Amino acid sequence: MTTADHTCAGTGRPPALDQLMSEHTGPLLTFVQTLVADHHLAEDIVQETFLQAWQHGRRLPLGPVPIRDWLMGVARDLAVTSLKEVAVARETTEPEIDVAQPDHADAAVATAEAITLLRRLSDEHRAVLLHTYLAGRTTYQTARVLGVPVRTVRSRHHDALSTLRTGSPQP
């Protein structure tokens, strides 16, 4: 028997492989496309599946159902491997995005300035601002907590803000 007896004319493949490909290429391609969502990658995986079938020739299961199951298993494994390789390649080739980090120096300077300005206020004025801004209390709640009239809280609040804006205490 010559080599020509074992191959199909013009393809160089054994007749059994041609028959295997004609029977299973369509279902395999459909199956692999659902896994990888890329037609060209699916075609490559199906070709690799048939290459493995050809290399395992004598060890392939017999019958149409067992061989299809074997081909699907090989194709699935190849698809998973390909997807992992694509993910790794994407991770290593994506450029790192240089994200500007916030500069905390401005906030530190602003905090220091605010502390300096708050120290210029009297204890009564500072207490009103602490209760209204930091504690989130209303004018009425602040008046109740401090035990002063609401008008006094409003007046101290106004004077304190004026002092902070101008940088000098009100007379």
Residue 25 lies in a domain: yes
Q: Name the one residue in this structure whose structure tokens are 């199909």.
A: 8
Q: Is residue 67 within 8 Å of residue 60, measured between CB atoms? A: yes
Q: Residues 69, 8: one domain?
A: yes
Q: Residues 34, 76: one domain?
A: yes
Length of the chain: 171
Residue 12 lies in a domain: yes
Q: Is residue 35 within 8 Å of residue 72, measured between CB atoms? A: no
Q: Residues 63, 137: one domain?
A: no
Pull the structure tokens for residue 63: 């019958």
d(CA 12, CA 55): 14
132: left (phi over 0), alpha (psi -120 to 50) or beta: alpha
d(CA 171, CA 164): 14
Q: Residues 57, 131: one domain?
A: no
pLDDT at res. 8: 43
Q: Is 122 helix (H, G, I), strand (E, B) or coil?
A: coil
Of 50, 71, 93, the residue at which a domain comes to its end is: 93
Residue 79 lies in a domain: yes
Q: Residues 15, 67: one domain?
A: yes
Give the gyration radius of the chain's Cα atoms: 40
CATH of the domain at 113: 1.10.10.10
Q: Residues 19, 48: one domain?
A: yes
- Nearest one of 152, 150, 149, 170 to 161, comparing CA atoms: 170
Pull the structure tokens for residue 155: 């007046």
> For 128-165, b where at least 16 C-beta lie within 10 A, e where not — what string?
bbebbeeeebeeeebbeebebeeeebeebbebbbebbe
pLDDT tens per residue, the chain (171 residues)?
333 344 444 445 556 778 888 888 999 999 888 888 889 999 999 999 988 888 877 666 666 667 888 888 899 999 998 888 877 777 766 566 666 666 777 778 877 887 888 888 899 998 998 899 888 899 999 999 999 999 999 999 999 988 888 866 655
Provide the domain limits for residue 156: 105-166
Phi, psi (rounded to 5 degrees) for 44: -60, -40
Q: Residues 13, 84: one domain?
A: yes
136: left (phi over 0), alpha (psi -120 to 50) or beta: left
Total domain count for the chain? Answer: 2
Q: Residues 62, 11: one domain?
A: yes
User: Which amino acid does the sequence have at 143?
Assistant: A
Residue 100 lies in a domain: no
